[in-house]
Amino acid sequence: MSKIKCIVIEDEPLAAKVLTDYISQVPFLELQKVCKDALQASEFLMQQETDLMFLDIHLPKLKGMAFLKTLVNPPAVIVTTAYHQYAVEGFNLNVTDYLLKPFEFERFLTAVNKVRADQKRTAGDERDYIFVTVQKRRVRIPFSEILYVESQREYIRIVTTRQEHVSKMSTNEIEELLPSHTFKRVHRSFIVSVSKIESYTAEAISLHGVSIPIGRGYKDVIDDL
């Protein structure tokens, strides 16, 4: 199973160091970035995906819970704080666990094991197709046949190896339904199947004889492939 990518959102250097040390001791965790505030984390999440956030509550500029409420499709969250009174609010926002500072490595490991168990469960239940509405019919489209998805105002065009389908939904909605390890957003208006990419430059991707532009804010996505 692949590693769980994670970020730390913590403004206290000592607390951030404790977390980074704990993360380095767990083989299935991969630290991507330490963010000093929620705005820095938000900027990171606009460019890259992560599986898990270690989120402090009392952050400068924007508090942790307020930041969490701004995320449309948040990753797993483990709250780290010295204040127990936010626990109920945290669990109402579907956080995986709530760690009260200072916490020992054993308690930290219990929390991340919950995330790992959830990830395994999700992977086991993962389907290999999607149903979309096309002219009042529900059409089954296997993920393996999808080449790319293009936004067309309030509609999307799903181009497959066999045909095209036009459905009334947003690019954000279809992105949430597609497996993130197989499909990547490379432009505000385009999502592509990674396995179908034939070649690419800094400006465009070539797949199945079609050139797909790479958006300015999505170049890191391509570099990470």
Distance CA 104, CA 80 (A): 12
Residues 27 and 83 in one domain: yes
pLDDT(225) > 70:
no
Kindly state whether residues 140 and 117 are assigned to the same domain. Answer: no
Claim to verify: residue 13 and residue 90 sit in the same structural domain: yes
Could you tell me the pLDDT band of residue 90, with boundaries at 50, 70 and 90?
low
Domain match, 94 and 199 both: no
As for how many domains the chain has, the answer is: 2
Domain of 105?
A: 4-125
Residue 92: band (very low, low, confident or very high) from pLDDT cuts 50, 70, 90: confident
Do 11 and 84 lie in one domain? The reply is: yes
3-state class (DSSP) for residue 141: strand
| Mean pLDDT over each residue of the chain, to the nearest integer | 89
* Domain identity same for 121 and 135: no
CATH of the domain at 27: 3.40.50.2300
Q: Which helix (H) or strand (E) holds 123?
A: helix 105-125
Q: What per-residue confidence (pLDDT) applies to 72? A: 80
pLDDT in tens, 112-166: 999 988 877 665 555 788 888 898 888 899 999 999 999 998 899 999 999 999 9
- If you ran DSSP here, which 8-state letter would residue 158 be given? E
Between CA 133 and CA 205, with CA 186 as vertex, the angle to 5 degrees is: 105
The DSSP call for residue 104 is -
Same-domain pairing of 146 and 109: no
Residue range 102-108: average pLDDT? Answer: 94
